[in-house]
């Protein structure tokens, strides 16, 4: 297995009973949403996929909050001829315990597309990047990240294949998409960087 840095730790509230997701190599996986409160009071509603055995072993006597550790994964699906990138947490451990909300992410990987830099009407600097975080068997998870302020300025000078490290939080964001059938409410998932570092520039 290749060395990779893709670590997420969440503590939040279960927002509904787990539902069956899929089966792989004889193992059943379930999907649920974890609500993780921000300091602002807003809540990120984050999708989690976990093996059935993890849920069967879960002891809920520790409280109503779940601590989930694992990785952020991506999966391409095609619906009605349209490709979509699903972003979710793949859990490696789940325990029930009370405590403050947690949402910590550490990622390392090369950029797989050119950064997109912009400024809001109020002058806030934003840079969107897409990381290809290596996974086993020569696969990679393609994860959208957003950077702010001076860090956004610095990363705007990056190029595809530059190696970077991003620490931040996994967040959900609602938006309205105009379609042929009218406006539709959708949810996007991304990693909001608190700190970021350019480890190596591709020459």
Q: Count Cβ atoms below 10 Å from residue 69 Cβ, excluding itself.
A: 17
Locate 52 and state its tokens. 């059935």
Give the residue extent of every domain in the chain. Answer: 6-103, 106-200
What is the CATH number that goes with domain 106-200? 2.40.50.140
Is 84 strand, coil or helix? strand
This prediction has a pTM of 0.91
CATH topology match: 6-103 vs 106-200: yes
Q: Half-sphere exposure of residue 147, counting CA atoms within 13 Å on the CB side? A: 26
Strands in the chain per DSSP E: 6-14, 19-24, 27-37, 43-51, 65-79, 82-96, 102-110, 116-119, 125-135, 139-148, 163-179, 182-200
DSSP string over 94-121:
EEE---S-EEEEEEEEEBSS--EEEE-T
What is the CATH number that goes with domain 6-103? 2.40.50.140
Q: What is the pLDDT of residue 105?
A: 98
pLDDT tens, the chain, 203 aa long: 345 699 999 999 999 889 999 999 999 999 999 999 999 999 999 999 999 999 999 987 777 899 999 999 999 887 667 778 899 999 999 999 999 999 999 999 999 999 999 998 888 999 999 999 999 888 999 999 999 999 999 999 999 999 999 999 999 998 887 777 788 888 999 999 999 999 999 87
């Amino acid at each position: 297995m290749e060395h990779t840095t893709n670590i997420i730790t969440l503590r939040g509230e279960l927002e509904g009973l787990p539902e069956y997701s899929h089966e792989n190599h004889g193992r059943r996986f379930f999907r649920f949403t974890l609500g993780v409160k921000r300091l602002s009071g807003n809540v990120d509603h984050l999708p989690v996929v976990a093996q059935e055995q993890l849920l069967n072993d879960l002891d809920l006597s520790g409280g109503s909050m779940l601590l989930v550790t694992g990785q952020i994964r991506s999966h391409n699906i095609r619906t009605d001829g349209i490709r979509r990138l699903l972003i979710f947490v793949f859990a490696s451990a789940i325990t029930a315990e009370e405590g403050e909300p947690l949402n910590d992410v550490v990622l390392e990987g090369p950029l797989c597309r050119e950064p997109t830099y912009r400024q809001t009407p109020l002058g806030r600097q934003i840079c969107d990047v897409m990381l290809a975080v290596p996974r086993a068997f020569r696969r990679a998870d393609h994860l959208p990240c957003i950077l702010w302020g001076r860090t956004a300025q610095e990363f705007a000078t990056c190029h595809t294949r530059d190696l970077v490290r991003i620490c931040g939080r996994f967040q959900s964001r609602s938006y309205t998409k105009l379609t042929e059938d009218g406006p539709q409410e959708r949810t996007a998932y991304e990693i909001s960087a608190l700190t970021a570092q350019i480890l190596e520039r591709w020459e």
